[in-house]
C-alpha cells in the first residue's frame, strides 16, 4: 500500500470546478492583483480568525517581516523565539535588522517553554514570537502576562495553526499581531505563494497594507518605502473557495490524529503528541519521537509510507546562524526532540486502512 504524506489533489478534487471558475473570471477581467477577491478573502479570513482585520500578503515570511516592522522591531532589537521551528520565523527577524534569541521548548508540547522566557529578556528585547508548531497553540496566557510586564509585542507565528484554538480564542486573535502562511501544503493552502497578517488593531492593519504595497495607499503617493508583498487575486479567490472547507478538513485531521494516538504502541519508546486540555490542535503535522528514527524512516519508505522530518537540525545549530554564537547543548530539549522526531502521513483525506497500515508497520519495526 502507498501512503502519501500529503494529498492535495484528492483533497481539492471536489472543489476543482469552483476553482477553475475563479481562474476563468480572473482571465476574463484581467484582474490579477488586489481587487474584490483579495478584499473578500481578507474579510472572510478575519471573520474565521475572530479578529477585526486581515491583511493579505505574498507569503507567510512576508507576513512575519511586515508584522515585526509594524511592531517596531528593527536594528538593535532582540526577538525571543524558539530554535525548533522553520527558518522563516528567524529569517524575518534578521531581515528587519533584529537578532533572534532562542529559548528551549516545553518537553510536553514542543512549543516555547514559557518558564524560560523571562531570563532571556534584556533591555534589547522588543518582541516575543511564539510559534504554534504542528498546529497546537503555544501557551499564550503566560506569554501575554510576561509581555505586558516587560512592555513587549507578541507576534504569533500561526503559519501551521489555521483554525486552532487556545482556551476559547482562535490562533491569530491572541497576540498583538499574527502571521499565517498559505503555502500549498499548509492546512489552508493556495495554488502558489500567499500569506496574511491578522490583528485587532486597525492602525497596524493599515500600516501593513501600506508596507505590502510600496508604502502607498494612493497610487504613486509613497508615505514610506515598502515592499512588493501583495497577494494575487487568483490566490485570494482560490483561498476563498478553500476556506469554506477548512473547519471540516481540520476536524478530519483531528479524527486521524486521535486514531494514531489510540493505536500507536507507546511501549516501543514512542512519544506521541501531547494536546494540552487548554488547546485545540489542528494537526498540521502529526509528529512523534522514536528511537532509531533514521532506520524507522527508511523502513517505512520501503513499505510505501512517506514521512517527513520537521525539523531535523535546530536553528541554533544551523550554519546560517553560526554568527549567533550558540553551541550544541544550549537547548537540550530542542536537540533531543530534533534527534528523534518523525512526521507521519497527515492530511484530511487519509483512509482508515492507510492509518492502520502505518501503525502496523511501525509496530512491526519495533517487534
Ligand X SMILES: *Cc1c(COP(=O)(O)O)cnc(C)c1O
Residues binding ligand X (CB under 6 A): 59-61, 85-86, 88-89, 131, 157, 159-160, 181, 183, 195
Cβ closest to ligand X, residue 338 vs residue 355? 338
Shortest Å, Cβ 188 to ligand X: 11
Shortest Å, Cβ 269 to ligand X: 27
Shortest Å, Cβ 305 to ligand X: 22
Shortest Å, Cβ 275 to ligand X: 18
Asked if residues 198 and 180 have their Cβ atoms less than 8 Å apart, the reply is yes
Strands 177-181 and 153-157, by their bridges, are parallel
At CA 260, angle to CA 255 and CA 262, rounded to 5? 95
Cβ closest to ligand X, residue 303 vs residue 310? 310
Comparing every residue's Cβ against ligand X, the nearest one is: 60
Shortest Å, Cβ 62 to ligand X: 7
Sheet holding 165-166, edge to edge: 169-170, 165-166, 279-280
Asked if residues 235 and 190 have their Cβ atoms less than 8 Å apart, the reply is yes
Shortest Å, Cβ 131 to ligand X: 5
Asked if residues 305 and 76 have their Cβ atoms less than 8 Å apart, the reply is no
Asked if residues 99 and 79 have their Cβ atoms less than 8 Å apart, the reply is yes
Cβ closest to ligand X, residue 105 vs residue 131? 131
Name residues whose C-beta falls within 8 Å of residue 326's C-beta, 6 or more positions apart in sequence.
83, 102, 316, 317
Cell 553560526: give the residue.
Answer: 322
Cβ closest to ligand X, residue 86 vs residue 102? 86
Cβ closest to ligand X, residue 313 vs residue 359? 313
DSSP state string for 182-222 = --TTSSS--SS--EEEEES-HHHHHHHHHHTBTTEEETTEE
Amino acid at each position: 500500500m502507498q501512503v502519501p504524506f500529503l494529498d492535495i489533489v484528492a483533497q481539492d478534487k471536489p472543489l476543482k470546478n469552483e476553482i477553475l471558475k475563479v481562474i476563468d473570471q480572473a482571465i476574463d477581467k484581467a484582474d490579477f492583483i488586489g481587487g474584490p477577491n483579495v478584499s473578500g478573502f481578507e474579510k472572510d479570513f478575519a471573520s474565521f480568525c475572530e479578529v477585526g482585520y486581515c491583511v493579505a500578503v505574498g507569503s507567510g515570511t512576508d507576513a512575519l517581516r511586515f508584522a515585526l516592522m509594524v511592531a517596531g522591531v528593527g536594528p538593535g532589537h532582540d526577538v525571543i523565539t524558539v530554535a525548533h521551528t522553520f527558518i522563516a520565523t528567524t529569517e524575518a527577524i534578521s531581515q528587519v535588522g533584529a537578532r533572534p534569541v532562542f529559548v528551549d521548548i516545553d518537553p510536553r508540547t514542543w512549543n516555547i517553554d514559557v518558564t524560560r522566557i523571562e531570563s532571556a529578556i534584556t533591555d534589547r528585547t522588543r518582541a516575543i514570537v511564539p510559534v504554534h508548531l504542528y498546529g497546537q497553540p503555544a501557551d499564550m496566557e503566560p506569554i501575554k502576562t510576561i509581555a505586558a510586564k516587560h512592555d513587549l509585542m507578541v507576534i504569533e507565528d500561526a503559519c501551521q495553526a489555521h483554525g486552532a484554538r487556545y482556551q476559547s480564542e482562535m490562533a491569530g486573535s491572541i497576540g498583538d499581531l499574527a502571521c499565517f502562511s498559505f503555502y500549498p501544503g499548509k492546512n489552508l493552502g493556495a495554488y502558489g505563494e500567499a500569506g496574511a497578517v491578522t490583528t485587532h488593531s486597525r492602525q497596524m492593519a493599515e500600516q501593513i497594507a501600506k508596507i505590502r504595497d510600496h508604502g502607498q495607499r494612493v497610487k504613486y503617493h509613497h508615505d514610506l518605502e515598502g515592499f512588493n508583498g501583495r497577494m494575487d487575486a487568483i490566490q485570494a479567490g482560490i483561498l476563498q473557495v478553500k476556506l469554506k472547507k477548512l473547519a471540516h478538513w481540520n476536524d478530519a485531521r483531528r479524527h486521524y490524529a486521535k486514531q494514531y494516538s489510540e493505536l500507536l504502541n507507546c511501549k516501543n519508546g514512542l512519544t506521541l503528541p501531547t494536546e494540552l486540555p487548554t488547546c485545540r490542535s489542528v494537526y498540521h503535522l502529526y509528529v512523534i519521537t522514536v528511537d532509531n528514527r533514521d532506520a524507522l524512516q527508511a523502513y517505512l519508505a520501503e513499505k510505501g509510507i512517506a514521512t517527513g522530518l520537521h525539523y531535523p537540525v535546530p536553528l541554533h545549530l544551523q550554519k546560517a546562524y553560526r554568527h549567533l554564537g550558540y553551541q550544541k547543548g544550549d537547548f537540550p530539549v530542542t536537540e533531543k526532540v530534533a534527534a528523534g522526531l518523525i512526521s507521519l502521513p497527515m492530511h484530511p483525506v487519509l483512509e482508515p486502512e492507510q492509518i492502520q497500515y502505518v501503525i502496523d508497520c511501525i509496530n512491526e519495526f519495533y517487534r
